[in-house]
Amino acid sequence: MPITGHATTEGTTRYRERLQQEAVAANHFRLEQNLWLSSLGIGTYLGKPDAETDARYTESVARAVELGANVVDTAANYRFQRSERSIGAALQVLVESKGIARDEVVVCTKGGYIPFDTDPPAGQEGVRRYIEETFIRTGVAELSDIAAGSHCMTPKYLAHQIEQSLRNMRLAAIDVYYIHNPETQLGVVSPAEFETRLRAAFGQLEQSVADGKIKNYGVATWNGFRLAPSERGYHSLERMHELAREAGGDGHHFRFVQLPFNLAMPEALTQSNQTFQGASVSLLEAARALGVSVVASASILQGKVARGLSEEIREPLGSLASDALTAIQFTRSTPGITTALVGMSRRAHVEENLQLARLDPARPDQYQRLFSTGAG
């Protein structure tokens, strides 16, 4: 039996109040889209596709939720669906024996990349046969729907993938469903065709909301929101928002975007590559104006945080014990970032990083000091 329900205002308020009694900082949670979301969330992208890593992710996700991270992020293709299944196992434990209710946790996943199942097929021929048997012969997709040999976002495919993700995570509903790296399609189709496909995809996601399978949707990108408007693969958030309105009317459910944001990739804050009503603005400004919540991926540069961050960076962020903590503190303190996702397959990393839940993010005046040039 799937776990019924979804994240709610009431459930996430209850979670926040309980965690605050355990000394979690008041500003660790942010109210967005009528949900209290933690400023640090757990991601599940990296790691080997093996049983040992599955078990570690299950333990890490459960521990992260216990310690104050109620945003859990994954994708169908992460570790060949194993990450979604590890999350399913963690949620089962949390609900059945750790006193956590389904309505307290914001579960986010993505569809777009064709996911293998548990293990990769052997060789090019194995991949071809897997796609043929799983998606083409079953009528889920046509070969011409698949961009760059790996990416599909047709309505039928997304509906199929939502069902698969629900099964993998043993859930009745997903809180946030992202189209995964839609910019992949822009490598092979024209901008006009891309808009046609995205509008149709949003139409399906509105239908999935109406059916109670997902509660909100959005896009999770890598390059799209960080590029200049003239570059291939660029996404305009304002235009996407308009497409969602065309698909779902004024009450559409395009409410979240995800992009990398860290000390080495601060473009969402620093580049005015977006527009809002004719003015050039940053992605964070455009999102705020449009009522879209922003989630940061790769908060510690996929684990490659430079050793020995300088005092000019460490001190305004609180002189924390490790560069990983400093990097996460930077991302979670950025005005306009709701949740900093950190991939954590190790319980030790969960316990280290969740120390931040007990600290407030850096104050705006402290944060601003990072950007003072000091030039004389």
Ligand X SMILES: NC(=O)c1ccc[n+]([C@@H]2O[C@H](COP(=O)([O-])OP(=O)(O)OC[C@H]3O[C@@H](n4cnc5c(N)ncnc54)[C@H](OP(=O)(O)O)[C@@H]3O)[C@@H](O)[C@H]2O)c1
The radius of gyration computed from the CA coordinates of the chain, to the nearest angstrom, equals: 20
**Binding status of residue 345 toward ligand X by CB under 6 A:** yes
Distance in Å, CB of 71 to ligand X, minimum:
10
List binders of ligand X among 204-263 (CB under 6 A).
Answer: 220-222, 258
Closest by Cα among 290, 285, 275, 327 to 305:
327
3-state secondary structure of 6: coil
Contact 218, 292 (CB under 8 A): yes
Closest by Cα among 73, 241, 293 to 284:
293
Binding footprint of ligand X, residue count (CB under 6 A) = 31
Interior angle at CA 239, CA 238 and CA 240, nearest 5: 90
Distance in Å, CB of 61 to ligand X, minimum:
11
**Binding status of residue 80 toward ligand X by CB under 6 A:** no
| Closer by beta carbon to ligand X, 57 or else 135 | 57
| Closer by beta carbon to ligand X, 96 or else 231 | 231
**Binding status of residue 362 toward ligand X by CB under 6 A:** no
3-state secondary structure of 141: coil
**Binding status of residue 346 toward ligand X by CB under 6 A:** yes
Distance in Å, CB of 113 to ligand X, minimum:
10
Question: Interface with ligand X by CB under 6 A: which range of 236-244, 310-318, 330-338, 345-353?
Answer: 345-353
Q: Locate 85 and state its tokens.
A: 């299944």
In DSSP terms, which residues pair with 258 in a beta bridge? 220, 295
Distance in Å, CB of 161 to ligand X, minimum:
14
Question: Interface with ligand X by CB under 6 A: which range of 203-211, 244-252, 294-302, 356-364?
Answer: 294-302
Closest by Cα among 2, 13, 90 to 44:
90
Using the rule CB under 6 A, which residue among 13, 30, 45, 336 binds ligand X? 45
Using the rule CB under 6 A, which residue among 33, 39, 44, 185 binds ligand X? 44
Q: Locate 23 and state its tokens.
A: 């000394």
The residue behind tokens 């040992």 is 52
| Closer by beta carbon to ligand X, 20 or else 271 | 271
Using the rule CB under 6 A, which residue among 344, 354, 356, 357 binds ligand X? 344
Using the rule CB under 6 A, which residue among 157, 353, 356, 361 binds ligand X? 353
Binding-residue pattern over the window 81 to 100 for ligand X, x denoting contact by CB under 6 A: --------------------
Question: DSSP secondary-structure letter at 301?
Answer: G
Relative to beta strand 29-32, strand 35-38 is: antiparallel
3-state secondary structure of 246: helix
Closest by Cα among 334, 335, 315 to 326:
315
Question: Which residues lie near ligand X (CB under 6 A)?
Answer: 43-47, 73, 110, 180-181, 220-222, 258, 297-303, 322, 324, 341-346, 349, 352-353
